[in-house]
Each structure stands twice: as structure tokens, then as C-alpha cells.
A and B are shown apart, each in its own frame.
Chain A
């Protein structure tokens, strides 16, 4: 059974965020602007959710959608 609490490092989260934005080819600011401009596709929606979660854990969360 997996541990109920998993600890991650800030650098792991930042790396993951970089990877996600790399998939889109956008910066975080550009992606936030995109989310305000139009409906997100399913892939973008998944990325948006994960970016929100990473942002919360890093304490710099601004919802992307």
C-alpha cells in the first residue's frame, strides 16, 4: 500500500511545470491568457489542472481556468 502522504521537493514541482508548459510551447503567463480567451481542449484542461495543483503546492497559485 502506498504511503498516505508523499513529500515532493520544490525543484521537482518546478521541473514538472516546465515540462507541462513545454508540451504546450507556451509560458505560464501565455497559458493563463489563453485560458481566459477561449475554452480549453481536453489536453489543455489536464495541463491546467496540474498547473493549478503545482501552483498551490508552490504557493504561487493563480488559477489558469
Chain B
């Protein structure tokens, strides 16, 4: 009879959830200015944990995001952890990550993941692109052309969706919170970041305004570029590819999903025009 080797030190689930919260905090501290504390909350007697920024209510738990030192949006993060099927390890059963406008406090961009979904997508982005608050944020972010190529324009939104909902391109590969987490941080790269990210840039492609700028650039060798970037880029590309297929009415199985009224090939590049060159694409090149 063989026995599995005993771990040198048993780490409780509570401790693991605390370690996970610390990892999330380290990621945020690495790329965003300001200070915050990420904590894990549990209810006594149950192995269910909620990892969020510390605060008494959702408003207090939001993480402010800035563009050129102007407070424009809030990042909201809630990761729900429970036991996996073995009953020994923590599993992220649900993720709610969203960016809220300061104008009306309702979400601009939301990522939802549910592990108990019985049909795809188990994870999806919800982009509330029809609202003026999105234009407000993107226009402010676009004021500096080094960050985004052009302002948000209505023609770049997908005609298939009022609120755009993009199934995650690589399906279940996207569901894990850690790999997704890097992609999320990439998506908010138009926001002001840690000044040292700029100091470590080697290409000189940053803005010349002198303000702190943590915008992502692949040539940077900072915390974000070396670690998160290599995860986020292929996944975002996959997401964009899949959405383009959907918009053209094609699926992987070849079955037609074209909607009544149809979407032209020209329209199908809505993501590449409004996102891959702007918000969601971490490769902010001129």
C-alpha cells in the first residue's frame, strides 16, 4: 500500500485564502497608485471565503482609478472562494470584477465568472458601451494620444450588441482567476499607474507630460510587463478572434449564428477597432 507524502506543513484553507488575498494585493500594488488592503472574509463554521478590498460597504471597497491624476473610475473586485470537489483545496467559484464610472457609479465594464454555469460562457465580459459614461472615460484617456490611438466613436461599437457581451475566447482557460487577473489589470492600463513603471521603460514611447504613467508597453521590463503581460496578450488575442468569428455569424463547428439583419465583415472588426487598439489591448503602440 502506498501513501501520499505528507506535506511538511499543513496550510489551512483560511490561511490559503489569506495568501491569495495577499497575492491580489501585490498585483494591485504593483500597478496602481495609492494604497489598499485586500482581505478575505469568512463566516464562522463554513469554508466559504470572499476576497475583496477592505471596507464597510461596496462603495468603500472600490479602488479609485485615475487618468492624468483625475479620478474617473473605480475598480471593484470580489472573488468568491469555496472548496473544490476534493474538499481539500480552495476554488474560485465566482468572480465579479468591474469598473464603475464616477459619473453615475453603475458599471462600465464588468467581468463575471460562475463555475456552476451549465452552458458556455462560464465567463464573460459585459461592456456597457452604449452609455455616455464610457465615452467620457475613453475621451479623457484618449486626450493623450500615446495612451489610446483615438477617442471612443459610436461607429466602433458592435451593432450586434447594445451592451456588448463577449464570451471568453479560450473558454475555460480564461476562468481561473489568476490568469484572468493579469488580463484585467492589462485592460485598465489606460489608467495612471505606479511612477516606477515609467522609470523602468526603455523605449521612450511614454507621454511627455511628466505625470506618472503606468501604461503598458511590451518593451518595458517592469513588474507588469514581465509577469502579467505574457499571460494577458495571448488571451486577449483569443478573445478578439472569437468575437470576430461570432460577429461574422460563424462558430467553430461551422454552424451559422448570424443574427437577423446580419453583420457585415466590416462591422466584425468592432473589437479590433474599439478595443484591441484602445482599451483592452495591452500593446499600446503608436
Residue of A40, A41, A50, A58 contacting most chain B CB atoms (<10 Å): A50
Residue of B49, B59, B106, B107 contacting most chain A CB atoms (<10 Å): B106
Q: How large is the interface on B (under 10, 10 to 19, 20 to 34, 35 or more residues)?
A: 20 to 34
- Interface flags for B142-154 (1: CB within 8 Å of A; 0: not) read 0000000000000
Tell me the nearest residue of chain A to B76, going by C-beta: A49
Does A42 lie at the interface of the complex (its beta carbon under 8 Å from any beta carbon of B)?
yes
Q: Is the CB–CB distance between B22 and A4 below 8 Å?
A: yes
- Interface flags for A21-54 (1: CB within 8 Å of B; 0: not) read 0000000000000000001111001100110110
Minimum CB–CB distance from B242 to chain A (whole Å) comes to 25
Taking a contact as CB atoms closer than 8 A, the residue among A6, A10, A13 that contacts B39 in the complex is A6
Minimum CB–CB distance from A55 to chain B (whole Å) comes to 10
- Interface flags for B75-112 (1: CB within 8 Å of A; 0: not) read 01010100000000000001010000000111100000
Residue of A9, A40, A49, A59 contacting most chain B CB atoms (<10 Å): A49
Taking a contact as CB atoms closer than 8 A, the residue among A7, A42, A46 that contacts B42 in the complex is A7
**How far is A18 from B18 in the complex, measured between Cα atoms in Å?**
28
Taking a contact as CB atoms closer than 8 A, the residue among A5, A8, A13, A57 that contacts B18 in the complex is A5
Q: Is the CB–CB distance between B106 and A45 below 8 Å?
A: yes
Does B139 lie at the interface of the complex (its beta carbon under 8 Å from any beta carbon of A)?
no
Contact A40/B106 with A5-B39, A56-B80 known, Cβ cut-off 8 Å = yes
Contact A49/B58 with A5-B17, A42-B105, A42-B106 known, Cβ cut-off 8 Å = yes
Q: Is the CB–CB distance between B58 and A46 below 8 Å?
A: yes
**How far is A57 from B49 in the complex, measured between Cα atoms in Å?**
7
Does B11 lie at the interface of the complex (its beta carbon under 8 Å from any beta carbon of A)?
no
**How far is A1 from B76 in the complex, measured between Cα atoms in Å?**
21
Taking a contact as CB atoms closer than 8 A, the residue among B38, B44, B96 that contacts A10 in the complex is B44
- List B residues at the A interface (Cβ < 8 Å): 14-15, 17-19, 21-22, 37-46, 48-50, 52, 54, 57-59, 76, 78, 80, 94, 96, 104-107
Task: Known pairs A9-B43, A10-B43, A57-B50; list 6 more (Cβ under 8 Å).
Answer: A3-B39, A4-B39, A4-B40, A10-B45, A45-B106, A58-B43
A-B contact pairs, 28 of them (CB 8 A): A1-B37, A2-B37, A2-B39, A3-B18, A4-B18, A4-B21, A5-B42, A6-B40, A7-B42, A7-B44, A8-B41, A10-B43, A39-B106, A41-B106, A45-B105, A46-B105, A49-B76, A49-B78, A50-B57, A50-B58, A52-B96, A53-B50, A56-B48, A56-B50, A56-B94, A57-B43, A59-B46, A59-B48
